[in-house]
């Protein structure tokens, strides 16, 4: 959504061209439960002869502990390398022969696997997913192969990204007890240390049908689909219920600051404020506020920092997860400005919102953008399946999707002022400053 539209007028035009919010409110989804505890969510869409299938496992990096961080993401890779019925590389081969392809992704809260395929391929896809849920191959060769691959990802996505490195430092400083403190990809030392026995235990704990939600959207008849689902997954045995993740993060009592010496082209700053979980009543107002502050060139931050020639880049993000997370701001300084000036400019924008609120036009623009984002994600069978499953896992019920637009529309200017005042305070703040090596050297060599 970042910089999706350039003006309030453009946002209004896009929203007017999209289907009405009834597309979300009237989404027809059936809920079914197998005897082994697996939840099945079905949505028929006969617009094209295709089906999209997602399997959501309620396990992500928040389910890990020190010593095995990154194991959830590691399993995402291992899931494609063979099971009792299908040997290494056969998973992709079967899907390709059926005119499909497979993928997956890991988050802090869950891991998802997905395929979109011609309806004729449904039996093959169900068999593949059920077999790896039942009998994934977990051997030394598979473990070592995928360990090497996943260790390369942070080197590319984080180590070479100033903003990625800063966010990693942000989480490590902001959280002292909650598992959100480590990255989804894990710490390199932990990835090296994960043993085969630990990997097997992790699979046995979290990859049972009773910890999974199957979401199927597309061209099928629900009654026929359920017969095939039961035939494929019904015999997969239930496993022990995973232990809940305790939210033992203590209340933050003061500002935290971290300096990151990094060889970048320009200095930068990142601010993070502790904010509530996705299900909290204040979440919609915070999402609207993030859009007002950081989406598009007409946003508060862009006008203040980029047009004001303080920063070359600026953004904001309110992150909605199962447990309380962060509302973040990032700004990269211009050549003749500093990270401190960027931080001061962000602080001034936040003070203005706390004291004066936002305009009616800003509020409507943000609602239009959020509305457009939700409705755009209801246009394809694949994005619908992903949205339905994500809401089911993070909100506890996919039906939260049917009310999200109403919750955005209900946000008032007073709500914006209230949440800004409550959450943007120093006791909740963590700051990461990117310091260029030459600047760090000057400080180190300065007379004491």
314 inside domain: yes
244 inside domain: no
The per-residue pLDDT for range 361-383, each reduced to its tens digit, is 999 999 999 999 999 999 999 99
Q: Could you say which of 200, 233, 266 is where a domain stops?
A: 233
What percentage of the chain reaches a pLDDT higher than 70?
A: 92
344 inside domain: yes
Same domain, 217 and 277: no
pLDDT at 4: 32
Same domain, 331 and 204: no
Q: Could you say which of 185, 201, 233 is where a domain stops?
A: 233
Same domain, 377 and 346: yes
Q: Which residue reads 């942000």 in tokens?
A: 170
Q: In which domain, by residue range, is 177 found?
A: 26-233
Same domain, 216 and 275: no
CA 303/CA 308 separation, integer angstroms: 6
Same domain, 209 and 312: no
Q: Give the number of C-alpha atoms closer than 13 A to the C-alpha of residue 107, restricted to the C-beta side.
A: 16
Q: Residue 212 in contact with residue 39, Cβ under 8 Å?
A: yes
- Between CA 60 and CA 68, with CA 64 as vertex, the angle to 5 degrees is 120
Q: Residue 285 in contact with residue 419, Cβ under 8 Å?
A: yes
120 inside domain: yes
15 inside domain: no
Same domain, 213 and 269: no
Same domain, 200 and 340: no
pLDDT at 445: 61
pLDDT at 346: 98
Counting the structural domains of the chain, the total is 2
Same domain, 309 and 367: yes
167 inside domain: yes
239 inside domain: no
Task: Tell the burial category of 96 from Cβ atoms under 10 Å away from its Cβ (0-12, 13-18, 19+).
Answer: exposed
Same domain, 294 and 438: yes
Q: Could you say which of 233, 264, 286 is where a domain stops?
A: 233
Same domain, 158 and 222: yes
226 inside domain: yes
pLDDT at 16: 34
Same domain, 319 and 213: no
Nearest to 377 by CA among 3, 24, 28: 24
Angle between helix axes 222-233 and 122-135 (nearest 10 degrees) is 30
Tokens read off for 345: 């400019």
Nearest to 437 by CA among 310, 266, 311, 258: 266
pLDDT at 38: 98
pLDDT < 70 stretches in the chain: 1-25, 155-157, 441-448
Phi and psi torsions of 42, nearest 5° = -125, 140
**What is the SS3 assignment for 297?**
coil
The CATH number of residue 327's host domain is 3.30.830.10
The residues near 350 (Cβ < 8 Å, ≥ 6 apart) are 420, 424
Angle between helix axes 140-157 and 71-78 (nearest 10 degrees) is 120
Tokens read off for 80: 């494609």
Same domain, 107 and 225: yes
Q: Residue 169 in contact with residue 260, Cβ under 8 Å?
A: yes
């Amino acid at each position: 959504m970042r910089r999706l539209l350039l003006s309030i007028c453009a946002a209004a035009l896009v929203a007017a061209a999209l289907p009405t919010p009834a597309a979300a409110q009237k989404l027809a989804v059936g809920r079914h439960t197998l005897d082994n505890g697996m939840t099945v969510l079905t949505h028929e869409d006969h617009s094209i002869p295709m089906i999209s299938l997602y399997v959501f496992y309620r396990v992500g990096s928040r389910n890990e502990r020190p010593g095995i961080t990154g194991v959830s993401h590691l399993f995402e890779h291992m899931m494609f390398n063979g099971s009792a019925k299908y040997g290494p590389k056969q998973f992709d081969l079967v899907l390709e022969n059926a005119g499909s392809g497979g993928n997956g992704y890991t988050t802090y809260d869950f891991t998802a696997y997905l395929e979109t395929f011609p309806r004729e391929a449904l039996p093959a896809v169900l068999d593949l997913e059920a077999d790896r849920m039942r009998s994934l191959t977990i051997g030394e060769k598979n473990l070592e192969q995928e360990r090497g691959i996943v260790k390369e990802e942070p080197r590319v996505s984080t180590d070479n990204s100033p903003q990625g490195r800063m966010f990693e430092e942000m989480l490590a400083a902001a959280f002292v007890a909650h598992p959100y403190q480590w990255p989804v990809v894990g710490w390199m030392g932990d990835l090296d240390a994960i043993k085969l026995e630990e990997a097997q235990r992790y699979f046995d704990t979290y990859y049972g049908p009773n910890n999974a939600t199957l979401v199927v959207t597309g061209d099928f008849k629900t009654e026929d689909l359920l017969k095939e689902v039961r035939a494929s997954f019904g015999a997969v045995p239930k496993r022990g219920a995973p232990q809940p993740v305790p939210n033992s993060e203590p209340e933050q009592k003061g500002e935290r600051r971290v300096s990151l010496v990094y060889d970048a082209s320009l200095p930068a700053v990142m601010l993070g404020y502790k904010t509530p979980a996705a299900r909290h009543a204040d979440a919609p107002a915070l999402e609207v506020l993030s859009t007002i502050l950081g989406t598009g060139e007409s946003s508060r931050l862009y006008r203040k920092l980029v047009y004001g020639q303080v920063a070359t880049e600026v953004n904001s993000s309110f992150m909605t997860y199962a447990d309380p997370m962060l509302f973040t701001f990032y700004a990269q300084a211009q050549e003749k400005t500093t990270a401190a000036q960027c931080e001061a400019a962000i602080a001034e924008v936040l003070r203005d919102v706390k004291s004066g609120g936002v305009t009616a036009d800003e509020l409507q623009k943000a609602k239009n953008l959020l509305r457009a984002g939700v409705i755009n994600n209801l246009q394809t069978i694949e994005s619908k399946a992903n949205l339905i499953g994500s809401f089911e896992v993070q909100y506890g019920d996919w039906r939260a999707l049917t009310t999200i637009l109403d919750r955005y529309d209900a946000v008032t200017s007073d709500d914006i002022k209230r949440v800004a005042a409550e959450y943007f305070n120093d006791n909740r703040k963590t700051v990461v400053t990117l310091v260029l090596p030459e600047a760090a050297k000057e400080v180190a060599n300065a007379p004491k």
